[in-house]
Amino acid sequence: MSSKGASSFKGLEVMVTGGTGVVGRAVCEALLAQGAQVHATGVVDAEMDAFAGEFPGVRLHRVDLTDARHCHEAYSALPSLWASIHCAGGFVYGAIEQATDESVTGMFDMNALTAFNASRQAVRVMRERASTQTGAVDPRTVGGRIVNIAGRPAVEPAAGFSAYAMAKSAVIALTRTLSVELAPEGICVNAVVPSVIDTPVNRAAMPGAEFSKWVQPSELASQILELASPASHATGQVVPVYGGLA
């Protein structure tokens, strides 16, 4: 898929979790270019300060997405919601004997729990919006989009990714389950599956790699926007975005 011909987001409210990170920033930039009213979450002070200076048109929320109460409060502050895009996450590499209880739990919390908490609150706000705007109580009048980010090791096994792969596999399971659960309400739920993303952290960790074959954040953002678009009715899709890595 590509974002060519994607419908405009003009006037639509969109939440981007982890919006202050590299991928989140690319998604926010693309949404702003299409006229969306963008909200973003962050937790790192330096990232949030830099983001606020670069994206003054985005409403920034400080949210610990692993905390259900904090997540509820952030989504409750939204005036309405068309799409919730979940860029919050983390990565750790290591053989299974190197994994600690904390690293395994951390991978699940950063990737799967954040996506679950954000999805749950997004659905709640989408339903409330539909009820308010239409005056109807039939949940099938609701519509919206949820896009998660999984990872290639969750669908193609690779050594050294056990904790990360488990967490991202949970994101895929969440995506597919919700796509069926929410289809009667017009809420489409999909996931993108990137390989290595071209970020400063990844370049520092793998200085000898061929960066030109990595996924560009703008490329990933383009695919995410296509899935979140009002013009797309795909649901339950797990879309690979591998750049030049076959």
CB 6 within 8 A of CB 75: no
In the chain, domain spans? 13-241
Question: Strand 83-86 relative to strand 187-194: parallel, antiparallel, unpaired?
Answer: unpaired
Taking residues 181-202, report their average pLDDT: 95
Confidence at residue 131, expressed as pLDDT on a 0 to 100 scale: 74
Confidence at residue 135, expressed as pLDDT on a 0 to 100 scale: 54
pTM metric for this prediction: 0.92
| CATH fit for domain 13-241, picks 3.40.50.12160, 3.90.700.10, 3.30.870.10, 3.40.50.720 | 3.40.50.720
- Which of 3-7, 55-59, 196-200, 201-205 has the weakest average pLDDT? 3-7
Report the half-sphere exposure of 93 (CA within 13 A, side-chain side).
Answer: 10
Q: Which two tokens stand for residue 4?
A: 């060519």
Q: What is the mean pLDDT of the chain?
A: 91
43-62, pLDDT tens digit by residue?
A: 999 999 999 999 999 999 99
Q: How far apart are CA 210 and CA 159, in angstroms?
A: 20
For residue 215, what is the DSSP state?
B
CB 145 within 8 A of CB 229: yes
Confidence at residue 227, expressed as pLDDT on a 0 to 100 scale: 97
